Amino acid sequence: MATVVWSCSPTVQGKMTEKEATLQDQLIVNDPGPSFLISATQAVFMPPMLKWQDWDYSPLWVKKPQPISKALPKDWQTRVHFDNSMGRSRALVRFPQGTDLYGQGEVFGDLQRNRTKIGIWNTDNFGYGTDGGKRLYQAHPWMMGVREDGTAFGIIADTTWRSTLEATDTEIIFDSEGPVFPIIVIEGKSPQSVLTQLSERIGTMALPPLWSLGYQQSRFSYETAEKGLNIAREFRRRKIPADVIWMDIDYMDGYRVFTIDKERFPDPMAYSKALHEMNFKGVWMIDPGVKADPGYFVFQSGNANDVWVKKPDMKTDFVGPVWPGDCKFPDFTREETRIWWAGLYKDFMQKNGVDGIWNDMNEPAVFNSPGHTMPVNNYHRGDAQLQPGPHVQYHNIYGMLMMSATLDGMQAAQPDKRPFLLSRANFLGGHRYGATWTGDNFSTEEHMKMSIPMTLNMGMSGQPFNGPDLGGFGNNASPELFEQWVSFGVFFPFTRAHACKGTNQKEPWAFGPGVEEVARTAIQRKYRLIPYYYTLFRQSSKNGQPIMKPTFFADPADRKLRDEQTTFLVGEDLLVIPTFAKNPDLPAGNWLPVTLLEGGKDANDRQATLKVRPGAIIPLGAEVQSTVEPMLETTTLIVNLDEHGKAQGELYQDAGDGYGYTTGDYNLTRYHAESTPDGVRISSRIVEGNRPTATRKLIVRLLTPQGEKTAETIPGQDIVVK
């Protein structure tokens, strides 16, 4: 949701008034300070003026690293130097020429991040217009480098303070307004290895509910229950698969969080039940700003519990305007506040049938204020883990701490369901609490094309469950733009179309029958692939790998792939080539094209091209209208043999929700194909879990350069394709 004005035109953007932190012309390199191994391939570099025992708690860690040795290996490649002068703290990392850089979290621009400089400062940035998009809604003090030979390293700056992150072709420079901070260096034989090690430090995402992988429709706003239900009915009537309808702020009573407008939504539980009867879920927005209304129960409770962020005098509650007017803001650095906030969700979710939560405006955004946020010298009181400090110290983790409290409340409200939480603001490590999206983009060709490298760099920064607003949030989308965007955008991990108030409708049928058919076909393709995606999400919950990966991950040593950003991988096995990609650099090998729908109706120049990696087996489900429908009774295997005549793949199954999978109520089936003198033998075996497979019939589609060969069998019974 935009915070500048009600209109969503780029000509009315607010201008940045708060000066961005800048680097000095010359970085002074001091004593590099002590270093410690924390694993065989990970090291912590400490500034000389910081002792290990004085290294404060950071919310990005699952567990604070512990030293195992003071001596680095003789062949350790990446070292760090520190400087603390002129009121700023800096760290410099040097690396060899020819290294390509990635990461930086949520950034607008090209996939490669060499020769860039960004602000690490969560910013409400409508249309990415403020500061040229160099500061967006999330902060990730992280970069990954891939050397010429394909080996890689990652760099974490453990500071939450406002900072800048600059990258040249030989240096990475973190420059912070806060006290000195350590740098963690991760070394790996590949970028995938580095990302798995990153997840060991900052955690992995929890396995989300299956429904959250489906197509989702939002608008600012579907103002009434009837509008929301009509959107759901249209999806079902037109046979366009979808799983979620979103409720933006207009459902609230005067934008008061945890309330519902009884005229617009007279019976919210009946509304939710009606969505559920059509196999839809509902996600509802909650912002951090609490209207300063003496008669409002949340405000009263917050005052009684003294939960608010303070002004610089450390006593007076800060008040700032957001959608409801003057608001107070919870101080999420305090455990007591987080417990209070979590407690607000029980009645809200249980009494209204709420399925998911959307935390927005949590940079935090404040209207009519420098930088669109609260003053940097506001005061946070902290708790046993977080020390008291100014807002400039805690601004970047405000949204992450809000997510943590929200998740606690959701789990307490619905203990038998997996929560789905989406947040606009976040910090490195915040993927543990929920998904994110890339904020208030525009309906432009540039933003459409940039949505690919933006999502890829988020994945390479430890945030696998993310994606853009398909079709663009601000401005009117043309039929051609929406068609192109949805044709490849359905393959993002988070797949939601969204539109701002004052712009044209952006439902799949809003652009006429031709675009509707393209959108329907694209979404149907995604739904056939949901079993594959769900398997990838399960893998990511264990190893931290992105769901959507840059094409160069197919061969990190192939230099020509390093800046390829018009195509992308889903997992390791599926390559997506959008319709706008002209002569892209593609990985070597016999990647074969595949259609997913009956009769090959998705084989046309208005759909993204899909190719399967040699050596891969990709499971497909049935064509369904939502994830509630059974999709695996007939499972189709797409098989592409490698140069050795072999292929393999996996399929993960569980109940799709709940936590039975943690005690064995799941199954992992492994598929294997091998060329033999009699033909290609395909086998399937359950290798993990106690849950019976939902599959009753297996259809094998063997891809060859001469065309497809097909066969049928049942799970556990080998079959030979002649």
- Give me the active site residues, please: 360, 363, 440
Q: What is the 3-state secondary structure (H, E, C) of 358-375?
A: EECCCCCCCCCCHHHCCC
Nearby residues of 397 by Cβ (< 8 Å), 6 or more positions away: 59, 139, 160, 427
Angle formed at CA 370 by CA 365 and CA 372, multiple of 5 degrees? 20
178 touches 393 (CB < 8 A): yes
User: Tokens for 385?
Assistant: 């883990």
- SS3 of 348, please? helix
User: Tokens for 67?
Assistant: 């030293």
Instruction: Using alpha carbons, select from 452, 433, 417, 292 the residue that is nearest to residue 362.
Output: 433
Q: What is the 3-state secondary structure (H, E, C) of 192-233?
A: HHHHHHHHHHHCCCCCCCHHHHCCEECCCCCCCHHHHHHHHH
Give the separation between CA 17 and CA 439, rounded to whole angstroms.
21
DSSP labels, 284-344? EEE-S-EE--TT-HHHHHHHHHT-BPBPTTSSSBP-EEETTEEEE-B-TTSHHHHHHHHHT
Q: How many angstroms separate the Cα of 653 from the Cα of each of 621, 695, 715?
A: 11, 10, 14
Tokens 């400090």 -> residue: 389
Tell me the pairing of strands 42-45 and 35-39.
Answer: antiparallel
Q: How many angstroms separate the Cα of 416 from the Cα of each of 3, 286, 413?
A: 35, 22, 9
Half-sphere exposure in the Cβ direction for 644 (13 Å, CA): 6
Q: Which helix (H) or strand (E) is 156 found in, with range?
A: strand 152-157
Catalogue the E-assigned strands of 60-103.
80-85, 88-94, 100-103
Nearby residues of 603 by Cβ (< 8 Å), 6 or more positions away: 595
Half-sphere exposure in the Cβ direction for 349 (13 Å, CA): 27
Region of residue 48 (phi > 0: left; psi between -120 and 50: alpha; otherwise: beta): alpha
Q: Would you call the peptide bond into 9 cis, given omega within 30 degrees of 0 as the criterion?
A: no
* R_g of the chain, CA atoms, integer Å: 25
651 touches 672 (CB < 8 A): no
C-alpha torsion 267→271→277→279, nearest 10 = -150
Give the separation between CA 502 and CA 440, rounded to whole angstroms.
14
- SS3 of 673, please? strand
User: Tokens for 262?
Assistant: 């009884």
Q: What is the tally of helices (H) and strands (E) in the chain?
A: 10, 40
The CB density around residue 171, as the number of other CB atoms within 10 Å, is 13
